């Protein structure tokens, strides 16, 4: 035996779980199951046979003691394995005798029979062949139950099925994808006998082959390369006989099994039908195994590598065949009906149809993760085709191959007969009916050349459109002229939409973010718990908005951090958890750590050693697992409705990815009222982005700025049932990262720059309702301000100095029409700002820009020189008109001239500043067109109209559009309904509306209404808030136009009650608060906004403790919570109704959950807390505390 050198003797006694005079026990550092323990002699003896009889007895005495301890735990094992390895051949790696005590649990492996026999793979269950060699199918023994574990282990899968149905491929999608992600080779061989195999199934097989090649080619040096997928077909006409074979073969480490029998690839054969399939194993019957292998490979070699053209010929032949007699095993299934839209998708589809009816050619839609934006695109393509009465050529653009693969699956269900093409990695097919292309590849010069030469695309979808890829999108779109362009994003904030809105002509067709989905009951509410992260992020390198992966992984894998997480895990209980980790090693570490605490957990990632993803999802849904640790795989496109807790151990750098991860838990499921989110918040500016994303989920008029939440302590008004709780220390960390500015506009500029790590553009600020023009100084305009902030590159600064007069003219030139900026946009889209264009091309491109945006097209409405059909003028007529207008205006300036038929720039552009000059010009053109479109919408938005909010000497007022341009504006006293349905009367003067009041009252409360909608800064210089008036059958209605609101503290009046009982009575009996008995008006510096607010005085010291103590005499600002269940106020301070000897009493307590109990907790530990009974009713929520010493 090798000489003993024992690491066990270095384990400190503090970590021993049991001991006696001759032996001790420790937990295994790499446990097979929770509680796995090693029992070790104190003397460093090598093997069992070298131990004395006394030592052997001592070891097994400790085995008994360890078992008793495990049996008394909260989750006692269902069985045990005891094991001793003796010698290297038996697997001994540490030559110090140790006895393994391995707890076993029901379901910890698919078939545990054989126990310790599994030390030699394949020899474990000697009863397998005799007990269950046959799968008999039906609901009691579905065939897929036998296949899924084999897919999860195999590295080589070979399926032979005479007939393939689309429903069968749908059932196999997840296990096949999981096998490919692990690097497996998967082959499917089918036949065309009697045309029973569905053409739609063959098209899906082609999709899978193309997708497999695309995703494999798109990988960048993966640790485990993706596997390969291939399908072939046997042409039975060439055989002259029938073709009915079925076999399923799986090979991998320790695995060689096959089924031969009756199951084809169909839903019935896999999940419901009575199908007999006999198992063949290489170890038990090598001869039969070889027969199966040889037969498959023989047919595979002679089968056809089919393509799309072959499938179309096959489909035509299948349609011509007039129902020949079918064999008994030909389970022909109907195609699955296309999925139907839910409520939000229906509204979005209607909005897109309206957009096209308005002759718009571009539209952006915002749909939260979980609301089905890809399905929306597929449904709208189908609607577009129906309206055109012909098939459309569709281009689907995304930045990752995984998104394209998920989109292809969705589109295939909706468009079963379309031919798909792929333009990713080595795939370069632009000829399909629907082409899935990566932004990275298509934006290359050689790809753009191919794009311009390919047939025109009628409909283009851009998925996950965001700022980082805006330049690439713009390059691609300049080479396309689709009838309709749809942008999709799940971006939570309007701030993040600003840069890309210009790509879609400032037309946001529809928006339903996470808050909207929760409010409508399509997603479940969340409770967010932000824990202070003690990692020193300033010591981890940060490049390209990412932490250094290796150093980050080392920083997050600490016992202290896991203990902090575990405390929150125990406090906020759940049944199924997704844990997001930052690396493979981190996921394995977290998995082992949780296993030691009895958690049933697996780790899933795209590398060797991963647990099977499909099996993990199945077990998590079935409750056979408590948690899954994941690295990236569950960010997008994975539906796990049962998840009711999300733990973010990874400091996600992107707010979009953060919302995607949150979205994994927002899916609705039976018996799931909410999802708990446990997150770590550290001392790095990227954490500001995720807090901003959460605050953005509030309604437009209720949104808080980061400063409101982090510094001023305001509570966000989130969708019903949602809450955001961030530890005070974590808030302090983030508050120190916030910048300060001299004005609202400058402050938001600095705040966005800090969180985005890039400056906002002028267009982005304008679309957030901030006015960049207010930052103009005596030295110049917007770009000079940006330069003073140090936010221009060296090349941009040089371009600005050389072209300062040009940029100043762009920013200030009057725009009675859009023509000058449209001409510049045409040059920019053509990449010709420096060289210019032929006048005919300039006119053609300019007309295309006008046509796709109704706000711009309005500028040529009714122009006599363009003829009766002014939307589609003759090219010569429009060329002359364009020459006489913007071309004449520009060539009359120093910046352009005409040379023959050329429009030639004379801009101060050098080779060194060319790119920077174009960037700055594009920014200002985008800004001016955004301004112009907004102005046009305000003045000509059908019969509805928009109006800006200004400020007189004291209060905000409404500035009406020009009555010369809108002769239909209401005038005088006008009845108007608010969004909540309440009737008001607005006094519409010639230019302004400065008086409004609820019907039946006399006091002007328009300023209060506008402040409630937009916050105290409404109407101040630098802001541009707006309202929309809309006519309807019952008269006019008014609503605020969504805007990001950044509030400052304001003093005002609020309804107050002298006692908790008086306040509760008003709420319970649904009285108008201001007219309730005992109500009075008090003047307080209230920061909270919205309806249902009232004030009461704190009495006593029961809540005088914790992070935000409430002291006797403090004012409590509450918001009524009618019909809210106790679960909706978890973790919040609330006014609650409790039973007492007189009937009911009223208290202010914090509502917390401890296990299965609800507790009304006093924050002062010296005061008692109480268990909440079923009779406890929440009356109102605390939103703000105003100390009695406040001025």
pLDDT at 151 over 80: yes
| For the ranges 741-745, 910-914, 1043-1047, 1077-1081, the one whose mean pLDDT is highest | 910-914
431 & 545 share domain: no
- Residue 778: its pLDDT value, please? 66
Is 98 considered catalytic here? yes
Q: Per-residue pLDDT tens for 486-526?
A: 999 876 454 455 567 888 998 989 888 888 788 778 889 99
Could you tell me if residue 333 is inside a domain? Answer: no
Q: Picking from 846-850, 1035-1039, 1134-1138, which range would have the lowest pLDDT averaged per residue?
A: 1035-1039
811 & 832 share domain: yes
Say if CB 755 and CB 467 are below 8 A apart.
no
Could you tell me if residue 336 is inside a domain? Answer: no
In which band, very low, low, confident or very high, does the pLDDT at 1186 lie, cut at 50, 70 and 90? confident
Q: Per-residue pLDDT tens for 918-958?
A: 999 999 999 999 999 987 875 544 467 889 898 876 789 99
Q: Per-residue pLDDT tens for 229-238?
A: 999 999 988 8
The tokens of 667 are what?
Answer: 């899916």
313 & 242 share domain: yes
Could you tell me if residue 519 is inside a domain? Answer: no
> CB under 8 Å to 1054, separation ≥6 — which residues?
1081, 1082, 1084, 1086, 1093, 1094, 1095, 1117
Point out the domain boundary residue: 668, 702, 735.
735
**How many Å apart are CA 1023 and CA 170, to the nearest integer?**
52
Q: What is the CATH number of the domain that holds 552?
A: 3.40.50.300
Q: What is the CATH number of the domain that holds 229?
A: 3.30.870.10
Point out the domain boundary residue: 936, 967, 985.
936
In which band, very low, low, confident or very high, does the pLDDT at 436 lie, cut at 50, 70 and 90? very high
Residue where the block lists tokens 């609650």: 1136
804 & 878 share domain: yes
Query: Could you give the angle at which helices 470-477 and 445-453 cross, rounded to 10 degrees?
Result: 30
- Residue 631: its pLDDT value, please? 87
530 & 496 share domain: no
Indicate the number of domains in the chain: 7
Domain span including residue 28: 8-108
Could you tell me if residue 176 is inside a domain? Answer: yes
pLDDT at 1001 over 50: yes
What are residue 865's phi and psi, to 5 degrees?
Answer: -65, -15
Could you tell me if residue 1191 is inside a domain? Answer: no
The tokens of 1135 are what?
Answer: 């006014």
Q: Picking from 376-385, 460-469, 868-877, which range would have the lowest pLDDT averaged per residue?
A: 460-469
What are residue 542's phi and psi, to 5 degrees?
Answer: -125, 110
542 & 577 share domain: yes
Q: Picking from 45-54, 123-132, 539-548, which range would have the lowest pLDDT averaged per residue?
A: 123-132
- The 156-161 sheet, strands edge to edge: 134-135, 277-281, 255-261, 246-252, 156-161, 185-191, 228-234
686 compared with 284, residue with greater pLDDT: 284
Half-sphere exposure of 865 (CA within 13 A, CB side): 12
301 & 406 share domain: no
- Residue 549: its pLDDT value, please? 77
- The 896-899 sheet, strands edge to edge: 837-838, 902-905, 896-899
- Residue 469: its pLDDT value, please? 60
607 & 695 share domain: yes
- Residue 680: its pLDDT value, please? 92
Segment (H or E) for 590? helix 584-595
pLDDT at 700 over 60: no
- Residue 567: its pLDDT value, please? 95
Q: What is the CATH number of the domain that holds 68?
A: 3.30.428.10
- Residue 1048: its pLDDT value, please? 32
pLDDT averaged over the chain?
A: 85
**How many Å apart are CA 666 and CA 678, to the nearest integer?**
14
**How many Å apart are CA 782 and CA 788, to the nearest integer?**
10
Average pLDDT score over residue span 146-157: 93
Say if CB 1028 and CB 1037 are below 8 A apart.
no
71 & 178 share domain: no
**How many Å apart are CA 1077 and CA 799, to the nearest integer?**
68
pLDDT at 831 over 70: yes
Q: What is the CATH number of the domain that holds 1021?
A: 2.40.330
Could you tell me if residue 123 is inside a domain? Answer: no
Longest dimension (CA), the chain: 112
Average pLDDT score over residue span 610-627: 86
Q: Using alpha carbons, list the distances in angstroms from residue 74 to 52, 105, 623, 942.
A: 36, 13, 18, 67
Segment (H or E) for 1095? strand 1093-1097
**How many Å apart are CA 387 and CA 484, to the nearest integer?**
13
Q: Picking from 44-53, 124-133, 882-891, which range would have the lowest pLDDT averaged per residue?
A: 124-133
Q: Picking from 39-43, 435-439, 934-938, which range would have the lowest pLDDT averaged per residue?
A: 934-938
User: Of the residues 36, 96, 98, 529, which is catalytic?
Assistant: 98
DSSP 1161: E
In which band, very low, low, confident or very high, does the pLDDT at 1050 lie, cut at 50, 70 and 90? very low
**How many Å apart are CA 1016 and CA 949, to the nearest integer?**
12
pTM for the model: 0.66
Sign of dihedral through CA atoms 7, 11, 15, 17? positive
- Residue 495: its pLDDT value, please? 46
What are residue 880's phi and psi, to 5 degrees?
Answer: -65, -45
Q: Per-residue pLDDT tens for 1090-1107?
A: 677 888 988 888 998 887
932 & 956 share domain: no
930 & 961 share domain: no
Could you tell me if residue 1028 is inside a domain? Answer: yes
Q: Per-residue pLDDT tens for 572-584?
A: 999 999 999 988 8
Point out the domain boundary residue: 694, 717, 735.
735
Could you tell me if residue 165 is inside a domain? Answer: yes
221 & 248 share domain: yes
């Amino acid at each position: 035996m090798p000489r003993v050198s024992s690491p066990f003797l270095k384990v400190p006694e503090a970590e021993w779980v049991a001991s006696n005079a001759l032996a001790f026990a420790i937990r295994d550092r790499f446990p097979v199951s929770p509680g796995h323990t090693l029992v070790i002699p104190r003397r460093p003896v090598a093997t069992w046979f070298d131990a004395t009889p006394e030592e052997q007895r001592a070891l097994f005495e400790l085995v008994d003691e360890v078992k008793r301890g495990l049996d008394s735990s909260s989750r006692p094992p269902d069985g045990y394995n005891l094991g001793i390895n003796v010698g290297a051949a038996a697997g001994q790696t540490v030559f110090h005798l140790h006895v393994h005590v391995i707890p076993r649990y029901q379901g910890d492996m698919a078939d545990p029979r054989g126990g310790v026999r599994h030390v030699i793979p394949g020899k474990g269950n000697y009863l397998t062949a005799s007990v269950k060699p046959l799968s008999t199918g039906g609901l009691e023994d579905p065939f897929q139950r036998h296949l899924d574990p084999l897919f999860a282990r195999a590295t080589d899968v070979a399926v032979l099925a005479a007939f393939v149905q689309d429903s069968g491929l749908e059932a196999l999608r997840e296990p096949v994808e999981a096998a490919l992600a692990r690097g497996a080779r998967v082959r499917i061989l089918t036949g065309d006998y009697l045309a029973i195999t569905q053409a739609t199934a063959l098209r899906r097989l082609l999709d899978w082959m193309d997708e497999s090649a695309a995703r494999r080619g798109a990988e960048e040096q993966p640790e485990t390369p993706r596997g390969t997928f291939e399908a072939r077909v046997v042409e039975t006409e060439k055989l002259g006989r029938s073709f009915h074979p079925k076999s399923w073969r799986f090979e991998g480490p320790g695995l060689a099994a096959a089924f031969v029998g009756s199951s084809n690839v169909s839903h019935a054969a896999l999940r419901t039908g009575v199908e007999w399939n006999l198992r063949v194993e290489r170890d038990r019957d090598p001869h039969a195994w070889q027969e199966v292998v040889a037969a498959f490979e023989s047919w595979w070699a002679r089968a056809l590598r089919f393509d799309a053209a072959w499938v179309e010929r096959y489909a035509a032949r299948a349609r011509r065949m007039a129902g020949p007699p079918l064999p008994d095993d030909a389970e022909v299934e109907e195609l699955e009906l296309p999925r139907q839209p839910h409520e939000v998708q229906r509204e979005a589809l209607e909005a897109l149809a309206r957009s096209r009816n308005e002759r718009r050619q571009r539209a952006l839609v915002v749909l939260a993760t979980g609301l089905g934006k890809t399905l929306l695109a597929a449904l709208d393509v189908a609607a577009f085709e129906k309206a055109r009465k012909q098939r459309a050529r569709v281009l689907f653009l995304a930045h990752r191959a995984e998104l394209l693969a998920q989109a292809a699956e969705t589109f295939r269900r909706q468009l079963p007969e379309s031919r798909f093409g792929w333009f990713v990695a080595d795939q370069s097919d632009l000829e399909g009916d629907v082409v899935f292309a990566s932004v990275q590849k298509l934006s290359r010069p050689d790809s753009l050349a191919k794009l311009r030469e390919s047939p025109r695309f009628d409909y283009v979808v851009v998925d996950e459109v965001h700022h980082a890829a805006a330049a690439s999108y713009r390059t691609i779109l300049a080479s396309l002229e689709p009838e309709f362009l749809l942008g999709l994003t799940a971006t939570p904030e309007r701030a993040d939409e600003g840069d890309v809105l210009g790509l879609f002509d400032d037309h946001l067709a529809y928006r339903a973010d996470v808050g909207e989905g929760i409010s409508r009951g399509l997603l479940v509410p969340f409770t967010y718990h932000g824990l202070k992260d003690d990692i020193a992020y300033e010591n981890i390198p940060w490049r390209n908005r990412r932490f250094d992966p290796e150093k980050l992984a080392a920083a997050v894998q600490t016992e202290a951090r896991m203990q902090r997480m575990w405390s929150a895990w125990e406090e906020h209980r759940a049944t199924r958890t997704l844990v997001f980790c930052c690396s493979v090693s981190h996921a394995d570490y977290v998995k082992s750590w949780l296993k030691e605490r009895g958690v049933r957990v697996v780790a899933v990632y795209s590398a060797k050693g991963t647990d099977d993803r499909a099996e993990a999802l199945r077990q998590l849904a079935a409750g056979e697992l408590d948690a899954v640790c994941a690295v990236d795989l569950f960010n997008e496109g994975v539906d796990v409705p049962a998840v009711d807790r999300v733990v973010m151990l990874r400091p996600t750098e992107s707010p979009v990815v953060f919302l995607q991860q949150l979205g994994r838990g927002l899916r609705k499921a039976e018996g799931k009222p909410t999802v708990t989110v446990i997150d770590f918040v550290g001392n790095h500016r990227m954490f500001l982005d995720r807090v901003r994303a959460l605050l953005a989920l509030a309604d437009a008029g209720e949104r808080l700025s980061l400063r409101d939440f982090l510094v001023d302590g305001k509570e966000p008004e989130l969708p019903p049932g949602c809450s955001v709780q961030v530890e005070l220390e974590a808030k302090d960390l983030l508050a120190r990262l916030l910048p300060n500015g001299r004005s609202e506009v400058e402050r938001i500029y600095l705040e966005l720059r800090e969180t985005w790590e890039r400056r906002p553009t002028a267009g982005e600020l304008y679309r957030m309702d901030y006015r960049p023009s207010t930052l103009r100084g005596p030295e110049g305009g917007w770009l000079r301000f940006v330069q003073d902030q140090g936010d221009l590159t060296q090349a941009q600064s040089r371009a600005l100095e050389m072209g300062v007069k040009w940029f100043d003219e762009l920013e200030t030139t009057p725009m009675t029409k859009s023509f000058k900026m449209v001409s510049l946009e045409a040059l920019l889209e053509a990449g010709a700002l420096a060289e210019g264009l032929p006048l005919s091309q300039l006119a053609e491109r300019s007309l295309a820009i006008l046509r796709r945006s109704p706000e711009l097209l309005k500028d040529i409405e009714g122009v006599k020189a363009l003829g009766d059909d002014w939307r589609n003028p003759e090219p010569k007529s429009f060329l002359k008109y364009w020459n006489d207008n913007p071309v004449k205006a520009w060539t009359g300036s120093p910046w352009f001239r005409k040379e023959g038929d050329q429009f030639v720039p004379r801009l101060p552009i050098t080779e060194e500043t060319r790119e920077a000059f174009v960037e700055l010009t594009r920014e200002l053109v985008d800004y001016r067109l955004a301004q112009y479109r907004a102005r046009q919408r305000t003045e000509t938005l059908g019969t509805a109209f928009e109006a800006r909010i200004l400020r007189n000497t004291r209060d905000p007022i409404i500035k009406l559009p020009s009555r010369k341009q809108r002769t239909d504006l209401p005038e005088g006293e006008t009845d108007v309904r608010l969004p909540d349905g309440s009737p008001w009367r607005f006094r519409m003067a010639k230019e302004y509306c400065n008086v409004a009041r609820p019907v039946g009252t006399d006091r002007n409360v328009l300023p209060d209404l506008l402040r409630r909608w937009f916050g105290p800064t409404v109407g101040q210089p630098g802001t541009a808030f707006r309202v929309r008036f809309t006519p309807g059958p019952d008269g006019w209605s008014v609503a605020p136009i969504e805007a990001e609101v950044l509030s400052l503290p304001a003093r005002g009046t609020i309804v107050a009650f002298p006692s908790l009982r008086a306040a509760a009575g008003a709420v319970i009996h649904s009285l108008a608060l201001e007219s309730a008995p005992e109500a009075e008006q008090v003047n307080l510096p209230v920061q909270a906004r919205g309806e249902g607010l009232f004030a009461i005085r704190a009495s006593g010291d029961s809540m005088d403790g914790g992070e935000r103590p409430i002291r006797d005499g403090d004012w409590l600002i509450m918001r009524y919570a009618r019909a809210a269940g106790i679960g909706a106020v978890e973790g919040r301070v609330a006014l609650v109704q409790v039973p007492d000897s007189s009937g009911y009493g009223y208290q202010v307590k914090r509502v917390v959950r401890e296990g299965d109990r609800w507790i009304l907790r006093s924050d002062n530990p010296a005061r008692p807390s109480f268990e909440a009974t079923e009779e406890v009713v929440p009356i109102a929520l605390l939103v703000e505390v105003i100390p009695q010493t406040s001025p």
